[in-house]
A and B are shown apart, each in its own frame.
Chain A
Amino acid sequence: MMRPRFALVLLGFVLWAALPHLLTRHMTDLLVFTAIYTVAGLGVGLLLGQCGIVNLGQAAFYGIGAYSCAYLTVELGYPNVTGFAVGAAVSVLIALVVGWPVLRLTGYFLALATLALSIIASSIFYEWDWLTGGELGIGGIPKLDFFGFKLDTPGRFYYLAWGVAFLSMLLVSNLVSSRTGLMLRGMRDSSEATASLGVDLQWLRTRVFMLSALLGSIAGSLFAHYVSFTSVQSFTVDKSIGFLLIPVLGGVRSLWGVVLGAMFVTILPEMLSQFGDIHQILFGIALVAVVVLLPDGLMGLLRQAAGKLGWSRVSA
């Protein structure tokens, strides 16, 4: 079974690498956003799928990542990499300080607390206009470059964004199959039993929250450098709900589900753009439908279909 699978992975890789050359610039642009949203959605999906935590605050960390890149490069003229690093550090620190008390809550109240965090963050982004440019935002964020190779087209940024997305998926996949992943599942399915085995649940949940914040921040930094403009409208509660939609629609128990969910929220609005804002209604209905009918999301639906056709599981 090893060889056909290897061939399949190779084929997938070649197809992935060739895509920007086959697709229009506009489609490539959407795929870049798919990658960025995958990174942010992975964090939310990890919390929901492995810990049973509804995180409605991811846009806060997405915003921190974006603004630290914008402020440090445009206002202070620091090199690009500092924006990523400072954004990540600040996000992880805030996740630790805020997550430690907040993650004592469970169920509804935890979800509401993260939602409240998202509102607090977007109000602060709005008010601290010395840092964020307020409503006007910050423009002219420099394009990333690697040793003189400038990532100034969607086709070029595509490789970086998906590179980061795949690395994040690898990271999450390793985490889930590690000892920590076992503890996480234990905590999700029977927290008392896991605690009685000497696992510090509070610290475990906080650590996953920090990782989720880190992914959100990196996605925000990528976003800032890609569109070279940040404004408060990009980091609202609606965005947080959008980030939650990604893993839920795709399927919280599967990594590729997150990619599928990210594709759904980026590409569907374009396909339906001639009908105005109808995609928003569909997102809402899709969320309801997934919750009621498809607990494993679109990925679960694909697996069922594959099962009916007699194919074995192909995804890793």
Chain B
Amino acid sequence: MTLSLILQALQAGITNGFIYALVGMGLAVIFRGSRVINVMHGEFSVVGAMTTVLVLTAAKYPYWFAIIAGLLTGPAIGALIELTLVRPMIRQQATEDQFVLLTIGLERAIAASVLFFIGRDGHLLPAFGGDHVFIVFDVVIREHSLWLIAIAIIVVIALREFFRRTTLGLALTAASIDADGAATTGINVARMRTLTFVLGGLLGAIAGILITPLIAVDYTTGLPITLKGIAAAVLGGFTNPLGAVVGGLTLGIIESLVIVGVSSGYKDVLTFSILIAIMIFMPHGILGRGGRGGG
């Protein structure tokens, strides 16, 4: 294994890691706000990417317009799910098992709808910056990867500032920490929960649109994206959206080093063995309890 091969793997790992981070953050935002682990989360990415593809190719609108259209699907679906399904189920005090089953059902229905209405084929989006590549120390870096990383970092910082500084972000945090207390100060807790799904959906759609120039997206892509995001969120402690960034990058880098060092076939074996081990032995993620503060 040469140095440039390792650097190449690191580059791929960091790129994937930021995708896992975005998905994991979305999952963590929803989990913190509603105590639901959203198994259909990857479908936000698939629908966002597919909508962008369709608006771009079928309707021939400009790329930026297609991206905005794609981004909007995430919040729309998120709000719809929260208002029509999650809200009544929380009222009935549904168990965690029921939420797992509910979101698996949604995942199945959306993935199957993509298959039924769009077809089996994978779709790619044009890369940001075209096919331009940079070559640094024999490492080939696509310009799109740099855009992806830059946008992901901006999203992470924006989310952190949103939760820390804006009234709305603080209200969201308050509603998730102490619902009754927040309600007495005039925060509409149910609306805050809807908002966490809107935010989670947006993060999912961003991840989907950013990854689609690199990996063709089809109807089967959603569940693996969810699972990687869950792994990232679990590594990061799950209640802390910023922890998912650490978790996602760790996961992405380990994964690509395994591909180079061992074999690409065993990357899922390793990723998900780590996931199980972390859940059993480090229930607060790799950051531990200390990592829970802030964010």
Contact = CB atoms under 8 A, between A and B. Distances in A.
A109 interface: yes
Interface string A189-226: 00000000000000000000000000000000000000
Contact of B112 (A115, A120, A281): A281
B225 to A, nearest CB: 13
B27 to A, nearest CB: 11
Interface residues of B, number: 41
Contact of A112 (B98, B116, B269, B279): B279
A276 interface: yes
A285 B109 contact: yes
B96 A108 contact: yes
A175 B110 CA distance: 38
Interface string A31-71: 00000000000000000100010100000000000000000
A112 B273 CA distance: 12
A284 B97 contact: no
Interface stretch (A88-96, A99-107, A150-158, A178-186): A99-107
Nearest to A104: B280
A287 B105 contact: yes
Contacts of B104: 241, 244, 287
Contacts of A52: 95, 97
B280 to A, nearest CB: 6
B268 A120 contact: yes
Contacts of A284: 105-112
Interface stretch (A17-25, A121-129, A306-314): A121-129
A288 B102 contact: yes
Contacts of B101: 54, 244, 248, 287, 290-291
A116 B105 contact: no
SS class, residues of chain A in contact with chain B: helix
Contacts of A127: 263, 265-266, 269
Contacts of A113: 275-276, 279-280
A102 B280 CA distance: 7
Contact of B100 (A111, A117, A237, A278): A111
Nearest to A281: B112
A101 B23 CA distance: 28
Contacts of B88: 292
Given A106-B96, A285-B105, 17 more contacts: A54-B100, A104-B280, A108-B99, A112-B37, A115-B227, A116-B272, A119-B227, A120-B269, A127-B269, A237-B223, A276-B116, A277-B116, A278-B112, A280-B115, A287-B102, A288-B109, A291-B101
29 contacts: A48-B97, A52-B97, A54-B100, A101-B280, A105-B280, A108-B99, A108-B100, A113-B280, A116-B227, A116-B272, A116-B275, A116-B276, A119-B268, A120-B268, A120-B272, A120-B273, A126-B265, A244-B101, A248-B101, A277-B112, A280-B111, A281-B116, A284-B112, A285-B109, A286-B105, A288-B106, A290-B101, A291-B89, A291-B94
The 3 closest A-B pairs by CB, nearest first: A284-B109, A287-B105, A284-B108
Interface of B: 37, 85, 88-89, 94-102, 104-113, 115-116, 223, 227, 230, 234, 263, 265-266, 268-269, 272-273, 275-276, 279-280, 283
Interface of A: 48, 52, 54, 101-102, 104-109, 111-113, 115-117, 119-120, 123-124, 126-127, 237, 241, 244, 248, 276-278, 280-281, 283-288, 290-292
